[in-house]
Structure 1
Amino acid sequence: MLFKLSTALCFVLPALVASLPSQPQGKDVEAHLRGKRSFYEHDGVARTVFEHEATGATIDFVTNSGICETTVGVNQYSGYLSVGTNENMWFWFFEARNSPTTAPLATWFNGGPGCSSMIGLFQENGPCQFYNGASTPSINKYSFNEYANMLYIDQPIGVGFSYGTDPVTSTVTAAPLVWTLIQAFYAQFPQYESRDFGIFTESYGGHYGPEFASYFESQNAAIEIGTVQGQNISLIALGINNGWFDPVIQYKAYVDFSYNNTYKSLISESQHTTYTSTYTSKCLPLLQKCTTTTGSNSACETADDICYDDIEGPLSNANFDVYDIREPSNDPYPPETYVTYLQSAAVVKAIGALSTYAECPNAPYEKFAATGDDSRSFLSTLSTVVQSGIQTLIWAGDADWICNWFGGLAVAEAITFSESAAFKAAAVTNYNVNGVTGGTFKSVANLSWLRVFGAGHEVPYYQPALSLQAFTQTMQKKAISAT
């Protein structure tokens, strides 16, 4: 959603840790050479600790908690990565339900900035969901781990179950910590190192996705020439639904979508004219001073404030849910049953969490706001990712207002790559799932655009079968196609 273990181990490790046997077997040999693994028990729950030599990170996790993923034989791991001094980043990993030893690896990041990826896990594409008002989750047969090994990450520090000191002030400063987490994850679970890797995200993921992908690629290049020590991340796919990519394009889309979407007009023709004029005279010039990622913090923060006050704030101050305009503002959808579940003592204990769950806390968000990160464009970074050949899917539910499909399509058509003209000129056609139309799409080379019918901001919640199909096709390094 878009939203305007270091010290923790010290008290338990000396008394409770037992070292691994001195002769690890099989895959453990490689991991053992790159770090030290040990075990301890906390609050009656067995935990594993792995200290990664290359990055200095420590991973502390619980194996097979029995929470959420109940498919027999499917392993899961949940816990923390200490990516710096008192910087404890939460992760939750689920094996693929099918062929886990050969399935690719994908990560999921929710947006905010400063919102937990447990939103995606429990409300969108994870192994379980809360159906029909139930207080406990049931299996989700359309989970993304039907096809891929899935890693959900709460970042930056302070979001979700992550806790400690938060050094992140922007999208750019978030990327190195996420890379560190992946490196330590590989060291603990070396069987996933050589797998195809995908980044999937939504909302503020329009910032996160391009920057994380670009940073991973730059680190791969540095590893190749020996200036950085680490494991190559075999990045083959990037998927972003209802993303916030480029404010110049997307603030204008707020005005146009409010007037002319397919569900209901939210403003009159005269209001559309007035808001368009306001955008052009007040918002746009300030955004242009905050060009790409090089504008000053003060210029970008000013643009954010004025564009919100004059465009986004007034337009969204009506009786509709900005994440699904078909719903009233006082009844946000989907329901957040999962939050109560994740704050229960039994669940917290079972999964190995060491903090109280916070879905979208203010503190991390405010650090991004202070640098004007929201007003910075990541369109050029996204273009670089597409130019590199990474299979890219830009998609959007068409009932979402906050990161609406008008803006998403305009961004996709503004991406600069060798097939830009062909992509922009291409007509959309029906996107079918087993013969049933669920949206419209177009694909040229390694770039695909998809509009999803009848879906709000959290697309996989509304259209689970379609979402799994689009995810699978993209992770197979294919342009999406109707079935």
Structure 2
Amino acid sequence: MRCHVYQLLSCLALPILSVALPAPETLAAELKGKRSFEERDGVKRTIFEHEATGATLSFVTNSGICETTPGVNQYSGYLSVGSNENMWFWFFEARNNPTTAPLATWFNGGPGCSSMIGLFQENGPCNFVNGASTPSLNPYSFNEYANMLYIDQPIGTGFSYGTDPVTSTVTAAPYVWKLLQAFFAQFPQYENRDFGIFTESYGGHYGPEFAAYFESQNAAIASGSVTGQNVSLVALGINNGWFDPIIQEKAYVDFSYNNTYKSLISASQHTSYLNTYTTKCLPLLQECSATTGSNSACETADNTCYNDIEGPLSGVADFDVYDIRAPSDDPNPPETYVTYLQSSAVMSAIGAQSTYAECPDAPYEKFASTGDDARSFLSTLSTVVQSGITTLIWAGDADWICNWFGGLASAEAIVYSGSSAFKSKAVSSYTISGVAGGTFKSEGNLSWLRVFGAGHEVPFYQPALALQAFTQTMMKGPIAST
């Protein structure tokens, strides 16, 4: 979820392998920190003080919320850094082969939107079918294949609470790395697993930067200049991402006129908006993208492009910016999960210490103050692809806010050894069990996928296809039809 139009509108079962937890005395001997227990509101919490980072993990084991598959473990709680910085995480073991399955993280966007959106509306172990008030098991959860870690960041987002020091994508990355370091120390059985980052929307910023930061920390660990656990990053997946505003502000104009669902503007309006983009928006974005691009220059570019392009286009017709096929008051994906997470019984069971806030203003405003939205992360993404990490750029084709026109153009602008071949390659049909679900192309370690009939939150609309694409990417290969 990108918050510009969000701000406008409102801000604007498969075989299982059961695995027993290691005995506490065995696990304690392996830990790189101090472990203790406390009981609060009748719920037992594990407290782990991580020596290397000075951070503390406080979590509940097997709350019984969301993942109810027998034998599948889960942990939910906080990483606390300093005196008042508390970052929420929720971990679910893989339903199949958890002792050997890879580990993946999920981040929603915003900036400042909770990853509980992904957990409960998209790819987590449970979902709210047809807006039900209680969750049901999701047979297409990403933990069918991988151990899954959902993180609410930056602080102030979702269940995270306290002082938020993060003002940009770049300043967010070290906090996520620190959480992973503490997580690996408390759960050493996941240390050396293949690791993937999956994200959407503002994840077009988060994904490249987090991946690049993890890689730089790995290099520093290898050289001895940083003490920590190597993150075995093998995969990056970003659906409906916000990568590069120079490409994607123009894509708003083109998609509004020429998408496959319904034209929102006339030919003359298309010409007019393109002229506005070229004369007013583009020069400011170019100034922001310069090496000397200041916070004020990028904030000005962001505000101007929103006021002249994104904002007006979002109001030319009654449509949902996350699914152009639907009206602006579209009830899908259902928001009933929010009420569920705000209930005292659920909060107590999972160890939550603050009331759930899906997309609060405060974290978003800090990013806005640095013009982070107007900054391009294509160069960073190119570095990640160049490093050999298997990368999937994909998009639901009914999404407007981070539409597939801009997603494909961004993918084709990635600089790596296969750039020319990737850009010139034609797309092919992407099928699941022989049924067409989209079009795709791959070259080397980069794949592009357009998903038919899906809005912004792709796994909500096409869950089986999403699980297939996720699994194939985590297996370190190009996506392929089945």
Q: For the superposition of Structure 1 and Structure 2, which TM-score range results when normalised by the shorter chain?
A: over 0.9
Query: CA separation of 1:279/1:124 partners in 2, compared to 1, >3 Å: closer, same or farther?
Result: same
> Which residue matches 2:112?
114
Structure 1, residues 109-142: CA drift from partner, whole Å, max 9, x if none?
0000000000000000000000123100000000
Unaligned runs of 5+ in 1: 5-22
**Equivalent-residue separation in structure 1 for 2:207 and 2:401 (angstroms):** 18
Q: Is the 8 A contact 2:394 2:407 kept in 1?
A: yes
Using the TM superposition, give the Cα deviation of residue 235 of structure 1 relative to its aligned residue in structure 2, in angstroms: 0.2
Q: Is the 8 A contact 1:459 1:467 kept in 2?
A: yes
Give the TM-score of the pair, scaled to structure 2.
0.95
**Equivalent-residue separation in structure 2 for 1:327 and 1:295 (angstroms):** 38
Query: CA separation of 1:27/1:374 partners in 2, compared to 1, >3 Å: closer, same or farther?
Result: same
> Which residue matches 2:16?
none
Using the TM superposition, give the Cα deviation of residue 396 of structure 1 relative to its aligned residue in structure 2, in angstroms: 0.2
Selected match of 2:63 from 47, 59, 65:
65
> Which residue matches 2:356?
357
2:64 aligned with 1:101: no
Structure 1, residues 438-469: CA drift from partner, whole Å, max 9, x if none?
00000000000000000000000000000000
2:154 aligned with 1:156: yes
Using the TM superposition, give the Cα deviation of residue 75 of structure 1 relative to its aligned residue in structure 2, in angstroms: 0.2
> Which residue matches 2:415?
416
Q: Is the 8 A contact 2:397 2:454 kept in 1?
A: yes
Output the amino acid matched with 2:3.
F
Structure 1, residues 414-438: CA drift from partner, whole Å, max 9, x if none?
0000010000011100000010000
> Which residue matches 1:141?
139
> Which residue matches 1:437?
436
Query: CA separation of 1:292/1:330 partners in 2, compared to 1, >3 Å: closer, same or farther?
Result: farther
Output the amino acid matched with 1:409.
L
Output the amino acid matched with 2:265.
I
Query: CA separation of 1:293/1:39 partners in 2, compared to 1, >3 Å: closer, same or farther?
Result: farther
Using the TM superposition, give the Cα deviation of residue 83 of structure 1 relative to its aligned residue in structure 2, in angstroms: 2.8
Q: Is the 8 A contact 1:292 1:380 kept in 2?
A: no
> Which residue matches 1:205?
203
**Equivalent-residue separation in structure 1 for 2:179 and 2:205 (angstroms):** 19
**Equivalent-residue separation in structure 1 for 2:110 and 2:365 (angstroms):** 11
Using the TM superposition, give the Cα deviation of residue 293 of structure 1 relative to its aligned residue in structure 2, in angstroms: 7.1
Using the TM superposition, give the Cα deviation of residue 346 of structure 1 relative to its aligned residue in structure 2, in angstroms: 0.7
> Which residue matches 2:188?
190
2:164 aligned with 1:166: yes
Give the TM-score of the pair, scaled to structure 1.
0.95
Q: Secondary structure at the match of 2:271?
A: helix
**Equivalent-residue separation in structure 1 for 2:283 and 2:466 (angstroms):** 37
Unaligned runs of 5+ in 2: 5-22
**Equivalent-residue separation in structure 1 for 2:24 and 2:269 (angstroms):** 69
Selected match of 2:45 from 29, 47, 52:
47
> Which residue matches 2:26?
26
Q: Secondary structure at the match of 1:399?
A: coil
Query: CA separation of 1:437/1:292 partners in 2, compared to 1, >3 Å: closer, same or farther?
Result: farther
**Equivalent-residue separation in structure 2 for 1:415 and 1:27 (angstroms):** 43
Q: Is the 8 A contact 1:396 1:457 kept in 2?
A: yes
> Which residue matches 2:54?
56
Q: Secondary structure at the match of 1:91?
A: strand
Q: How many residues align?
A: 463
Using the TM superposition, give the Cα deviation of residue 226 of structure 1 relative to its aligned residue in structure 2, in angstroms: 0.6
> Which residue matches 1:472?
471
Query: CA separation of 1:253/1:419 partners in 2, compared to 1, >3 Å: closer, same or farther?
Result: same
> Which residue matches 2:219?
221
Matches within 5 A, 1:80-95: 80-95=78-93
> Which residue matches 1:2?
2
Q: Is the 8 A contact 2:130 2:334 kept in 1?
A: no
Q: Is the 8 A contact 1:27 1:191 kept in 2?
A: no
> Which residue matches 2:461?
462
Output the amino acid matched with 2:244.
D
**Equivalent-residue separation in structure 2 for 1:368 and 1:446 (angstroms):** 31
**Equivalent-residue separation in structure 2 for 1:102 and 1:263 (angstroms):** 43
Output the amino acid matched with 2:405.
F
Structure 1, residues 201-224: CA drift from partner, whole Å, max 9, x if none?
000000000000000000000000
> Which residue matches 1:257?
255
**Equivalent-residue separation in structure 2 for 1:134 and 1:292 (angstroms):** 49
Q: Secondary structure at the match of 2:293?
A: coil
2:211 aligned with 1:234: no
Query: CA separation of 1:292/1:42 partners in 2, compared to 1, >3 Å: closer, same or farther?
Result: farther
Using the TM superposition, give the Cα deviation of residue 295 of structure 1 relative to its aligned residue in structure 2, in angstroms: 1.4
Q: Is the 8 A contact 2:131 2:335 kept in 1?
A: no
**Equivalent-residue separation in structure 2 for 1:294 and 1:174 (angstroms):** 21
**Equivalent-residue separation in structure 2 for 1:113 and 1:247 (angstroms):** 15
**Equivalent-residue separation in structure 1 for 2:474 and 2:374 (angstroms):** 30
Q: Is the 8 A contact 1:77 1:94 kept in 2?
A: yes
> Which residue matches 1:288?
286
Selected match of 2:179 from 165, 178, 181:
181
**Equivalent-residue separation in structure 2 for 1:24 and 1:246 (angstroms):** 47
Q: Is the 8 A contact 2:28 2:35 kept in 1?
A: no
